[in-house]
Amino acid sequence: MKKTREKHKISLFSAVLLCCTCMVGSGWLFSSQLVAQKAGNYAFLSWIVAAIIIVGIGLCISNVVTDHPHRGATTRMSAISHNATFGMPFAFANWFSVAVVIATEAQATTQYLAPFLGKGVMQNGALTLTGKSIGIGLLCLYLLINWYGLKLLSRINNTITVLKIFTPVFVIAILLASHVDISNFTQMSRYTYSPTTILTAIVSSGMIYAFNGFQVVASFASEIKNPKRNIPLTILISVGIVLAFYLLLQFAFMAAIPKDMLSQGWAGVNMASPIVGLTMVLGLNFLTLLLLSDSIIAPSAVGYTYLGTSSRMLYAMSKEKQAPSFLSRYINPNRGFSVPSMMLNFAIAVAFLLQAESWAGLMVIVTMLHLIGFMAAPVSMSALKPKTKPFGLIIFVIITILMMTVPTHDILLSNLVITALSVSYMLINGRQHVKESLLFGGPTLIFFWLIYFSHSMIIAAILAILFFLFVTNSRYVDTCKQFKNNQEAKNTQINKDKINNPKHVTHA
């Protein structure tokens, strides 16, 4: 029986492909232009710095989930190290951001299809009702792919990943073979780019959005073969592969730009569909159809993978009492997911698709939510393994500084969403434990709002250090765990009473 279960688990190879699939989505068609605009020749260093930060976060995550390989582990980290109430803001941010990504990928695919489907699909840069109906059809396709289980998902993903990787690699090769102008890189000296633009570009150019797929392996932690070895290996290998890809793409794009397009510098390069636009400018029209087909495949692959991931995250939240209990029920062993969790995430994706206008409009807010979710990793790791606290502190401060590069309006929106969800949870589940809810859930929410009002990276870094040291302090962690243990003991006793005295419990 054990061997049979092991056969159905995800191998290292499939796990790497799963992560790569999520890191080469709709972003690759836009990122090279956005990074060039924001960072100029510092674009390459921006990608490297972003990858190093992501690997640092990944190591924090793997330190937690390899010892606790639970289903949907990315949302359970803080609940494992502290308790469910403390983990609320991080769990909500992590899950909500992934759920919204599903909608953005379906929307991106629909936008790429729009030129072939007629003017009725998009008007004034926004999807029409017809366009949104096509997007919902794509969401239904994502649902069907997931419905037939983890094994089929893994097989489809392996095939799609090969196609997704082949197309951009082929495009890079053609661009390098057709037009390389090294003098393009001298444009930097005329314009106001500096090392500080590296951090700004990491968030505003979609690098965090692009690399975010690395954590998918943690959500499937309980379904990975030999998780202690394969989870950190998967993160390192997949991020390394994708970094090499984005660096090559960045060089090919910037070296292929015709000189007359650089009259206003890199900031003046502004094509609606950067890669497709560039191939058309260079007369490489034979690549257009290939690029358009990949622009359909790539976002769709991310969409159906994230639908599976978000359902596991919501399942985990339900198990930690951070979401209604019915969301962790009805798990079909052949499908490997909770049906209610899958359907709720599908409904959220549909709702966001119906109200959103464009892919770009959601990217930064999703990135902000990703950053909040990432914060749980160094905190949980340091609480569970105190010797790792110096490394965890460094990663936590870096994430906080990255948050400060997000537009103030988007920080406000993310804070409002997280606060509303967290307060709702405390009102529903914490009425008997108001003091504990404020003690465990309050500090994180207060920290987020202080970051919003700080308007300074230095002040934000100081706040991050103080908050981190407080929530990873052994006394605070022990208090959190004691409350968690008491609640678990109480729930265990209630379940025993239900079994031993069903009539009495029902009557009560």
Q: What is the pLDDT of residue 375?
A: 94
Q: Which helix (H) or strand (E) holds 400?
A: helix 389-403
Q: Does residue 504 or residue 202 have the better pLDDT?
A: 202
1.20.1740.10, 3.20.20.60, 1.10.275.30, 1.10.10.10: CATH of 10-472: 1.20.1740.10
The predicted pLDDT at position 183 comes to: 86
Per residue in 58-74, pLDDT tens? 999 999 988 887 766 77
Query: In Å, what is the CA distance from 399 to each residue of 80, 323, 417?
Result: 21, 26, 19
Task: Report pLDDT for 280.
Answer: 81
pLDDT of residue 4: 44
Q: Which residue has the higher pLDDT, 236 or 366?
A: 236
Q: Return the biggest CA–CA distance within the chain.
A: 83
Whole-structure pTM over 0.85, yes or no? no
DSSP 11: P
Model confidence at 330, pLDDT cuts 50, 70, 90, reads: low
Q: pLDDT category, 113, cuts 50, 70, 90?
A: confident
Q: Of all residues in the chain, what percent carry a pLDDT higher than 70? A: 85
pLDDT at 189: 47
Looking at per-residue pLDDT, the higher value among 8 and 292 belongs to 292
Q: What angle do CA 426, 444, 442 make, to 5 degrees?
A: 40
Domain regions of the chain by residue span: 10-472
Q: Looking at per-residue confidence, does 424 or 2 come out higher?
A: 424
Mean pLDDT of 233-246: 94
Please write the tens of the pLDDT for every residue from 472-486.
Answer: 999 999 999 898 888
H runs (alpha helix) in 118-224: 129-147, 149-178, 196-204, 207-211, 216-219
Percent of the chain whose predicted confidence (pLDDT) is above 90: 28
The band of 26, judged by pLDDT with boundaries at 50, 70 and 90, is: confident
Per-position DSSP letters for 430-457, written without gaps between them: -TT-HHHHHHHHHHHHHHHHHHHHH--H
Q: Which of 35-39, 159-163, 262-266 tops mean pLDDT?
A: 35-39
Q: What is the DSSP string of 289-312?
A: HHHHHHHHHHHHHHHHHHHHHHHH
Q: Write the pLDDT tens digit of every residue in 132-183.
A: 899 899 999 888 877 775 566 566 666 776 777 788 888 899 999 988 888 8
DSSP H/E element including 127: strand 126-127
Across 53-73, b (16+ Cβ under 10 Å) vs e yields bbbbbbbbbbbbbbebbbbbb
Q: What is the mean pLDDT of the chain?
A: 83
pLDDT value at 505 more than 50 = no
- The pLDDT of residue 187 is 62
Residue 461 is predicted with a pLDDT of 96
| Cβ count within 10 A of residue 438 | 15
Q: By mean pLDDT, which of 105-114, 234-243, 415-424 is the weakest?
A: 105-114
Please indicate whether residue 254 or residue 502 has the higher confidence score (pLDDT): 254
Per residue in 375-426, pLDDT tens?
999 999 999 999 999 999 999 999 999 999 888 888 998 899 899 888 887 7
**pLDDT of 466 over the 50 cut:** yes
**Cα distance between the two ends of the chain:** 42
pLDDT of the residue at 498: 61
Rg of the chain (C-alpha set)? 23
Kindly state the DSSP code that residue 322 receives in the 8-state scheme: S
Highest mean predicted confidence (pLDDT) among 1-15, 204-218, 326-340: 204-218
Residues with Cβ within 8 Å of 103's Cβ and at least 6 positions away in sequence, in order, are 135, 139, 348, 349, 350, 351, 352, 353, 356, 362
